[in-house]
Chains A and B, each alone.
Chain A
Amino acid sequence: MHLRRYVMGRLLQAVPLIFVVMTVNFILIQSAPGDPIHLLIGEGSASEELIELTRAEFGLDKPLHVQFVSYVKNVLQLNLGYSLRYRQDVFDLILSRIPASLLLMGTAFVVSSVAGILLGLYAGTRKDSLADRAAVVLSILGYSMPVFFLGLLLLTVFSLNLGWFPAQGMYNIRNPQEGWGLVKDVAHHLVLPVITYSAFQLALIFRVTRVKMQQVMKEDYITTARAKGVGEGRVVFRHAVPNTLLPIVTILGLNLEWLLAGSVLTETVFAWPGLGRLMFDAVSARDFPLLMGLFIVISSFVIIVNLCTDVIYRAIDPRVRFA
């Protein structure tokens, strides 16, 4: 019951935030150099009809406050403009690229969470051992590594020189596969981008888990459990681990935006056909409607995910739930 009321409250808070994002976008469109129409349909040889149609749709010949109202209306109806370069509606274009991004981010999330938590548990229960120190140094390195540089390194060594993995894209275009073959093909293409993208996340999750684990292992309830004669494995996994998982949810929520930035750069390096690569193409082609559309969609995504992490946090932590 409490949870439901909380979720409703948080949802209500998210509404003004999305409104803020739209306002920022509107201000950007208005204050950028040049005719705002180019930010809605892009530069290039647009037909007079399209220009007139868009101008009318967004009310560009009306006073500023009327323009703002019609802009918000359009965005709420998911009309984000038209990409001349792709000759496609911006929102449809963005929608078509979401699955590829989710596949990459989701796989990397699972890989880095599992590896980061396990490594963190291992190092956290063996403070100052050689393995602990080595893992700490590696995590500092992973934390400082520019994701695009790591991607380029992996690409050059394992793809261009050793030829173990494909360099570009999500599947083999020249020799398209079906069924199980397609799954294997995509997985093969996925390896290098996932490693690249996981490095930062892994370092982050490892750091948090390790520190939290060291704190938890000193708690009285761990001593109590041991005193009761509970085996060490059960002490770690039953009594300690659940208490280390919460901060990980928070820390990932806080770093969400850097994770998204990382996905753009990773997708750019490996020509992964997701939102990030689309953003790179939009920048290269100066396709402003697409760029602004991506900005709105990504910002809304960040707001929604933050909302979800708050709710998840509340749902899984009994202390917060009943507070």
Chain B
Amino acid sequence: MDSHWRLYFHNWVSVLGLAILVLLALVATLGPALAPFDPQDIGIAYRALPPGMVNWMGTDELGRDVFSRSISGVRVSLLVGVVAAAASTLVGIVVGSLAGYFGGVFDHILMRITEVFQVIPQFFLAVVLVALFSASVFNIIVAIAILTWPVIARLTRSEFLSLKTRQYVDAARLSGASDARVIFREILPNAMGPVIVSGTLLVGRAMLTEAGLSFLGLGDPSRVSLGVMLYQSRPFIQFAWWAALFPGLLIFLAVLSTNLVGDGLNDVINPQMVEER
């Protein structure tokens, strides 16, 4: 593990990505404590003020503080990204390891199901789902998770297919280990590398999906997310561009950092690929 981290920190781009991600995570956790104003507070007298000493990122068309709203937005975006990716990774691991380990008819059925999910264009199904079943953060997370788990499932399955024939797995089985023990203690830990990389990249995609849905007007109206901010400030962009610029930059930074971390982890896990990058 130690040498893995050294390899990771060897690449300054990956370190930069991790630093941005940690910073954003801190902002998300501390959240309201950092915000100078209430993110929902409307002030008619303070409409569309440019960035300045009081409102660092200016105010939007309703006089709300963009800085305070952005903090809350980072929180919602990261929440959606991390929870959706975690849920989807979990489902994917369970389906993939069962299919890969037990094989046969079971594998066949599970794989046909994942194929069905992979055929349907995810973003569009998310749009339809959220439009039909009301836009709440919960529904958005569920929609994203439902649509992204097949990738993880296929990956886990292929890892299991190659790992289950290894000698140490046979040894564990011969010494009387149960199926559950072989799956969770012997095979899964060794299959986790590529799965974690994909899971990390899913966080970025989930945040992009949430922002994209919000931009189409399918964001949770009761929460301040970065995508919702962008959607709301869009009609006023000509005279309050800062209300769109800062949330947009933050989405970009959040996605960029998860992509960099994912790439960095990939280099650690597949060292033979590093040379080709």
- Whether B218 lies near A149 (C-beta < 8 A) is no
Interface of B is mostly: helix
B binding-site residues for A, Cβ under 8 Å: 13, 116, 119-125, 127-129, 131-133, 204, 208, 211-212, 215-218, 230, 234, 237-238, 241, 244-245, 248-249, 251-252, 255-256, 259-260, 263, 276-277
A211 on interface, CB distance cutoff 8 Å:
yes
B13: chain A residues at CB < 8 Å are 140
A295 on interface, CB distance cutoff 8 Å:
yes
Known: A146-B212, A303-B119. A28 touches B132 (CB 8 A): yes
16 contacts between A and B (CB under 8 A): A39-B132, A140-B13, A146-B248, A149-B230, A149-B249, A149-B252, A156-B238, A211-B277, A260-B121, A264-B216, A265-B216, A268-B216, A279-B216, A283-B127, A291-B127, A298-B121
List the 10 closest A-B pairs by CB distance, nearest first: A261-B123, A149-B248, A144-B256, A32-B132, A257-B121, A144-B255, A148-B215, A160-B238, A17-B119, A144-B259
Report Cα–Cα, A211/B122, bound state, in Å.
Answer: 28
Give chain A nearest CB distance to B253 CB in angstroms: 8
A residues 131-161 in Cβ contact with B at 8 Å: 140-141, 143-146, 148-149, 152-153, 155-156, 160
- Whether A152 lies near B216 (C-beta < 8 A) is no
- Whether A146 lies near B255 (C-beta < 8 A) is yes
Give chain B nearest CB distance to A194 CB in angstroms: 19
Report Cα–Cα, A261/B208, bound state, in Å.
Answer: 11
- Whether A152 lies near B230 (C-beta < 8 A) is yes
A108 on interface, CB distance cutoff 8 Å:
no
Chain A residues with a Cβ closer than 8 Å to the other chain, count: 45
- Whether B217 lies near A160 (C-beta < 8 A) is no
Known: A144-B255, A260-B121, A283-B216. A156 touches B132 (CB 8 A): no
B133: chain A residues at CB < 8 Å are 32-33
Contacting residue for B119 out of A20, A39, A280, CB 8 A? A20
Report Cα–Cα, A28/B277, bound state, in Å.
Answer: 43
- Whether B124 lies near A260 (C-beta < 8 A) is yes
Known: A20-B119, A260-B121, A302-B121. A146 touches B132 (CB 8 A): no
A295: chain B residues at CB < 8 Å are 124-125, 127-128
Report Cα–Cα, A39/B245, bound state, in Å.
Answer: 37
